[in-house]
């Protein structure tokens, strides 16, 4: 796998930055997961998260989903359960579908919410079509800051992410971490781990401690 994004963009633009492998980026996140943390994944992050081992009752694999919902879902859970850290993962394409959520998150300012954006520049799970953020040279870290989120981090280098993950994830929220990741060649979409009608109530019970 190439260590460099194949995205286009002008030299120095977000789309031409170094990118880390998705699998290792998520393994690094997973290593920081604490007991009681909620982790919500979707699209490519859900596929990789499920491949890494058995699910925790506080994992919510948001598949199928409407793009960008993990941010709003994570915000709601973070507000309802302030004692838990909530990590809401999304792709760059999904973030664009719900970009306003960044402003809502900033305005509600839950200290226990971390948004992780896996920016691969493509709609990976539907066939790697180029995503508009990459074509436009949009910088999601800048957009997050401009939305009012104070704690924003961006990593394209795996070693830098590994060495900073604990402090970035542990900072008072809301936190937004943008990870530049390389598209996974030939990747397929995640399969739902079960019936949503059953998984939703089970997740709600886990949130209530049961």
CB of 123 to ligand TPP, least distance (A): 3
Considering the rule CB under 6 A, would residue 70 count as an interface residue with ligand TPP?
A: no
Question: Is 91 or 173 the residue whose CB approaches ligand TPP more closely?
Answer: 91
Q: Which residue do the tokens 């060495």 mark? A: 163
Question: Is 19 or 131 the residue whose CB approaches ligand TPP more closely?
Answer: 131
CB of 175 to ligand TPP, least distance (A): 19
8 A C-beta contact, residue 20 and residue 161? yes
Determine the size of the site formed for ligand TPP (CB under 6 A).
17
Considering the rule CB under 6 A, would residue 180 count as an interface residue with ligand TPP?
A: no
Considering the rule CB under 6 A, would residue 59 count as an interface residue with ligand TPP?
A: no
In the complex, residue closest to ligand TPP by CB: 91
> Helix crossing, 100-108 with 69-80: angle to 10°?
10
As beta bridge partners, residue 180 has 119
Considering the rule CB under 6 A, would residue 190 count as an interface residue with ligand TPP?
A: no
8 A C-beta contact, residue 95 and residue 140? yes
- Joined together, the tokens standing for residue 74 give 């994570």
Q: Please give the distance of CA 120 from its chain centroid, rounded to a whole number.
A: 11
Helices then strands, each counted (H, E), the chain: 9, 9
8 A C-beta contact, residue 49 and residue 43? no
Dist CA 184 CA 157 (whole Å)? 16
Q: What mask of x and - would describe binding to ligand TPP in positions 87 to 126, judged by CB under 6 A?
A: ---xxxxx--x----------------------x-xxxxx
Dist CA 65 CA 89 (whole Å)? 13
Question: Is 2 or 126 the residue whose CB approaches ligand TPP more closely?
Answer: 126
Considering the rule CB under 6 A, would residue 135 count as an interface residue with ligand TPP?
A: no
CB of 98 to ligand TPP, least distance (A): 9
List of residues contacting ligand TPP (CB under 6 A): 43-44, 66-67, 90-94, 97, 120, 122-126, 131
């Amino acid at each position: 796998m190439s260590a460099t994004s194949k995205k286009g963009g002008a030299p120095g633009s977000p789309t031409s930055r170094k990118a880390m492998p998705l699998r290792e980026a998520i393994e690094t996140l997973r290593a920081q997961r604490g007991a009681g943390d909620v982790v919500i994944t979707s699209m490519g992050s859900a596929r990789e998260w499920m491949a890494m081992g058995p699910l925790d009752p506080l994992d919510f694999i948001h598949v199928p989903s409407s793009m960008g919902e993990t941010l709003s879902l994570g915000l709601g859970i973070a507000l309802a359960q302030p004692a838990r850290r909530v990590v809401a993962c999304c792709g760059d394409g999904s973030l664009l579908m719900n970009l306003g959520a960044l402003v809502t998150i900033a305005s509600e300012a839950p200290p226990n919410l971390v948004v992780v954006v896996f920016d691969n520049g493509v709609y990976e799970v539907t066939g790697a079509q180029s995503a508009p953020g990459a074509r436009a040279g949009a910088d999601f870290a800048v957009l997050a800051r401009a939305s009012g989120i104070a704690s924003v981090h961006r990593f394209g280098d795996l070693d830098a992410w590994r060495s900073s993950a604990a402090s970035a994830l542990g900072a008072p929220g809301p936190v937004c971490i943008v990870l530049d990741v390389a598209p996974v060649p030939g990747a397929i979409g995640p399969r739902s781990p079960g019936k949503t009608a059953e998984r939703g109530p089970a997740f709600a019970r886990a949130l209530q401690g049961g």
